[in-house]
Structure 1
């Protein structure tokens, strides 16, 4: 058995289905970022533990969660509210947690968009570290999201999980990515000024995660990024095979890339006084599920 963390913020639409999918575990912990909707009310109907903590960033929220909340089991799994645990994935996690050779495992998502699995243009299988031994993994901030730091060897799970990226509607998706693009613009400037491309990982990385991250760092330095991202996703990855949903997905991702470039230009040429203060007061870094910014160019 392993404990399951569920991260939430204004997730009244998804939280019930998410908790119900996780109830194979006997220790479910809802970590809420002070939601203003009915998330906590709905979650309290289930046999779960609920903790609230003001959101600062994805990395800091996970760090607080891991350091401050006691868990029943040695192994833990992180689940976002718009994701689901499947019985097959749960069974594999149980078996994997018995292996003393690894301290963590990556699981691949299946992006669900417009009632369709976006199989091709999301660079499937795209992995996230989800199952790990408590105390052996921590997180740091990267752009709008986070990256894990592991104290030990990791491996990969075969089973996948569904990720309903647009379950709250297109308006919420666009609002969310407008906020995310601000953090991504900051990270772009930082990487261009101080970061490097790990060329060895790009061509000879030992895992999909290493190759994807090197590709992400390279993409920040390419011209016409929005157009390149669309062409890469729609034609090279095969997004055209995902039908109408695939076309919409690739178009929105290119639009997201264009927003990042616009904000990079804005930060370079039109500095906004007290931007960090305005962001923290206005909730710009809303703790919602991640877009697939690292999945493609």
Structure 2
């Protein structure tokens, strides 16, 4: 078996369904960032352990829980409140933890937006580090999210998990990405300051989807007209038009998100 961490902050809408989807696990741990809604009250109705820790960043929060919370098992799975386990994924995770071949596994998300699966413009399959040996993985902050540091070889699981990215409504999504754009603006300035070289080989010949996607993200920090190019890339190159009305909305919002980052970069520069 493996333990499951669920990170929360004001997740009263999602937390019950999230825990229910992982109910086959007998060691579910909710790490809450001092929610001020009914998240803790609802989570307490289930057989889970609950800890609270002030949120600084995604990477720091993950490292804190890995270093300070004792788990029942050596393997852990990171689950967000707006994500769900599936029976197929759970069975594959059980098979994976019985092997010593890898120290961690990437899992692909199925992005659900406005009730539809955004298959094309979400860069599916888009993998995230989710299942790993607790002592073999740590995290560093990068932009609004984090990147993993792995002490050993990693693999990929075949099954996916649904990610209901707009489950709390469009207003909450916009509020969240307003915060994210500030972190991305800071990271953009850092990347330009470091004067890192563009990793062309990783961009076109990277061995994994994760390597290619991250090289593309690093390149995007240097591109002019980023909002337009991101929308064009997602809608036409990735064939986002096949995702229908929800796909068009997703691509437009991602373009606006890039524009927010550019505006905040200029604001930060003015502030010195």
Q: Which bracket does the TM-score occupy, shorter chain normalised?
A: over 0.9
Q: Who is 2:74 aligned against?
A: 74
Q: C-alpha deviations, 1:116-152, integer Å up to 9, x for none? A: 0000001100000000011000000001111000000
Q: Which runs of 5+ in 1 are unaligned?
A: 272-297
Q: Where in structure 2 are the equivalents of 1:216-235 lying within 5 Å? A: 216-235=217-236
Q: Which runs of 5+ in 2 are unaligned?
A: none
Pair 1:154 & 2:133 matched: no
Pair 1:125 & 2:139 matched: no
Q: Who is 1:85 aligned against?
A: 85
Quote how far apart the aligned CAs of 1:270 are: 3.7
Q: C-alpha deviations, 1:239-291, integer Å up to 9, x for none? A: 000000000000000000000000001111244xxxxxxxxxxxxxxxxxxxx
Q: Who is 1:251 aligned against?
A: 252
Q: Where in structure 2 are the equivalents of 1:1-297 lying within 5 Å? A: 1-194=1-194, 195-271=196-272
Which stretches of structure 1, 4 residues or longer, exceed 2 Å deviation after superposition? none
Q: Distance in 1 between matches of 2:65 and 2:219?
A: 32
Q: Distance in 2 between matches of 1:53 and 1:270?
A: 31
Q: Which secondary structure does the structure 2 equivalent of 1:16 belong to?
A: helix
Q: Distance in 1 between matches of 2:255 and 2:119?
A: 18
Q: C-alpha deviations, 1:205-256, integer Å up to 9, x for none? A: 1111011000100111111000000000001101000000000000000000
Q: Distance in 2 between matches of 1:105 and 1:165?
A: 22
Q: Which secondary structure does the structure 2 equivalent of 1:7 belong to?
A: strand
Q: Distance in 2 between matches of 1:186 and 1:236?
A: 28
RMSD, matched Cα: 0.7
Q: Which secondary structure does the structure 1 equivalent of 2:46 belong to?
A: coil
Q: Which secondary structure does the structure 2 equivalent of 1:5 belong to?
A: strand
Quick check: 1:196–1:217 contact (8 Å CA) kept in 2? no
TM superposition score normalised by structure 2: 0.98
Quote how far apart the aligned CAs of 1:196 are: 3.0
Q: Which secondary structure does the structure 2 equivalent of 1:185 belong to?
A: helix
Q: Distance in 2 between matches of 1:219 and 1:184?
A: 11
